[in-house]
A and B are shown apart, each in its own frame.
Chain A
Amino acid sequence: AQTVTQSQPEMSVQEAETVTLSCTYDTSESDYYLFWYKQPPSRQMILVIRQEAYKQQNATENRFSVNFQKAAKSFSLKISDSQLGDAAMYFCAYRSPISGSRLTFGEGTQLTVNP
């Protein structure tokens, strides 16, 4: 079974600065998808960014980008120009093409943005 590990329970960043959240995963599959979801205090789960394992190019969505290292099974999220609204719990998730295509989540990283 696949596992996802987020080793940083909490992170903090100053407004306008850059922060990187770490995620590692364990899988024997070669084809899969990786996601970062954001959960603000409202508890809504919001998709931030996705990465297809077959793509070598790292995904980017505005101020959010990933560093996908397939061989190392690492998938970190970089948030540039951090804003107060970025404060949230961030979950890394893995999705397999099999097993019903469920999402397997990491434990989450609580990000605080300091003004």
Chain B
Amino acid sequence: DSGVTQTPKHLITATGQRVTLRCSPRSGDLSVYWYQQSLDQGLQFLIQYYNGEERAKGNILERFSAQQFPDLHSELNLSSLELGDSALYFCASSALWTAGNTIYFGEGSWLTVV
């Protein structure tokens, strides 16, 4: 158990809908990362937050947004869903944002868009 908690574990929704994925980082970790893992794109970095502030942005679509709250949990919002958004979405956390800190992953949220 990495200590990173993601909910829901599985989600099935229809095209055009909006969903919210939730992440609780390891106790004390200030940095949260979101990754998308799909069959054809591999593991893609979406976005990083550090202590409530956006720190880095990767290949995140405009239809997607995220935030980190004062209690350090994070949410990834996916809207106007398309079939191609079906993927495993990982949240990960590290103590600080610096590279020497190990990144620990949650178990992921499986999103299926039908």
Contacts and interface: CB of A to CB of B under 8 A. Distances in A.
Q: A and B: real partners?
A: yes
Nearest to B108: A43
Nearest to A32: B99
Interface string A63-107: 000000000000000000000000000010001110111111101
A97 B97 CA distance: 9
Contacts, number: 60
What interface size band does chain B fall in? Answer: 20 to 34
A101 B97 contact: yes
Interface in A28-51: 32-33, 37, 42-47, 50
B99 to A, nearest CB: 4
Interface residues of A, number: 24
Contacts of A97: 98-99
A103 B103 contact: yes
Interface string B70-114: 000000000000000000101010100111111111011000000
B43 interface: yes
Given A100-B56, A102-B33, A47 B102 contact: yes
A32 B99 CA distance: 7
A8 B108 CA distance: 25
A34 to B, nearest CB: 10
A101 B104 contact: no
B100 A52 contact: yes
B97 A100 contact: yes
A44 B56 contact: no
Nearest to A94: B99
Given A43-B88, A45-B90, A97-B99, A103 B104 contact: no
14 contacts: A37-B105, A43-B88, A43-B107, A44-B108, A45-B92, A46-B105, A52-B100, A95-B103, A97-B98, A101-B31, A101-B48, A101-B56, A102-B56, A107-B42
Interface of A: 32-33, 37, 42-47, 50, 52, 91, 95-97, 99-105, 107-108
A-B pairs with lowest CB-CB distance, top 8:
A100-B56, A45-B105, A105-B43, A97-B99, A101-B99, A102-B45, A95-B99, A100-B55
